[in-house]
Amino acid sequence: MSLEEKLADGLEEMGLHLDAATQSSLLNYVALMQKWNKVYNLTAVRDPQKMIIQHLLDSLAVLPHLVGRRIIDVGTGPGLPGIPLALANPALELTLLDSNHKKTSFLRQVCLELNLNNVTVVCERVEAWRPTEKYDVVISRAFSDLAEFVSLALYLCSDTGLMLAMKGIYPHEELTRLPATVELQGVESLKVPGLDAERHLVLLRPTKMVAKG
């Protein structure tokens, strides 16, 4: 099966309707990852067929759970899930945050070659980044621990925003260690076509502090 067919079939199975130009851009992104991976080691996934499933479709599975317009992808690495989300919905404003200079250099090249005007790339540690405005969604696919994700990135989230953590298996133990600064909104099971592994999305909201009279 060609890469074009694999992507089209996966999108159809997920109920995502992306035009031919967007699908072409997604495939060009995979080609850029392949090219830069030879020098920069962006991802452990080398097979473009697997990139379609493990990178593109996996990232796009969170689309229905996004709220608002301003989104920051914390620890984005080679742009996951940020680049696929930005391509799929040009109305979103994505900030891709990573402290790795090689990966952010790659991301700037991606934005240039794919003409992505709705993406801002920031090379900075999450705890050091000071945006002028908070975000509607703070998402991460790379943080290993929910408590650490909240500790480092909650300040980026607006009072009415969402923190979304992409996980593999259901994170039972991590959920027990969530700090009181966030409220668990739910854990959604994500279906990624062709992926023989569990995927979950943890939805968190900042705790509304009750004023004491």
Domain assignment present for residue 213? The answer is no
* Average pLDDT, integer, range 122-129: 95
Domain region containing 163: 3-206
Q: Which amino acid is at 119?
A: V
pLDDT of residue 213: 38
- pLDDT value of position 47: 86
Q: Which residue has the higher pLDDT, 41 or 148?
A: 148
- Tell me the percentage of the chain whose pLDDT exceeds 70: 98
Give the pLDDT mean for 167-191: 96
Q: pTM (2 decimals)?
A: 0.94
Which residues sit opposite 138 in a β-bridge?
72, 163
Q: Is 212 part of a structural domain of the chain?
A: no
Residues in a beta bridge with 137: 71, 162
Which two tokens mark 182?
């966030």
Task: Give domain status of residue 132, yes or no.
Answer: yes
The answer to whether residue 143 sits within a structural domain is: yes
Q: Using one digit for the tens of pLDDT, what is the confidence trace for 64-87?
A: 999 999 999 999 999 999 999 999
Q: Output the average pLDDT for the chain.
A: 94
- Domains of the chain: total: 1
CATH of the domain at 183: 3.40.50.150
The answer to the question of residue 211 being in a domain is no
Q: Which residues pair with 73 in a beta bridge?
A: 96, 139
- Please check the confidence at residue 41 and state whether its pLDDT lies above 80: no
Neighbours of 180 (CB within 10 A): 7
Contact 53, 10 (CB under 8 A): yes
**Which pLDDT value is given to residue 69?**
97
Tell me, yes or no, whether 125 lies in a domain.
Answer: yes
Contact 120, 145 (CB under 8 A): no
DSSP 8-state symbol, 170: -
Q: Can you give the pLDDT at residue 93?
A: 98
The helix-helix angle for 101-113 and 20-40 (nearest 10°) equals 150
Query: Is residue 192, in this structure, part of any structural domain at all?
Result: yes
Q: Per mean pLDDT, which range of 18-27, 88-97, 179-188, 202-211 is the poorest?
A: 202-211
User: What's the pLDDT score for residue 209?
Assistant: 65
Q: How many CB atoms lie within 10 A of CB 131?
A: 14
Check pLDDT > 50 for residue 212. no
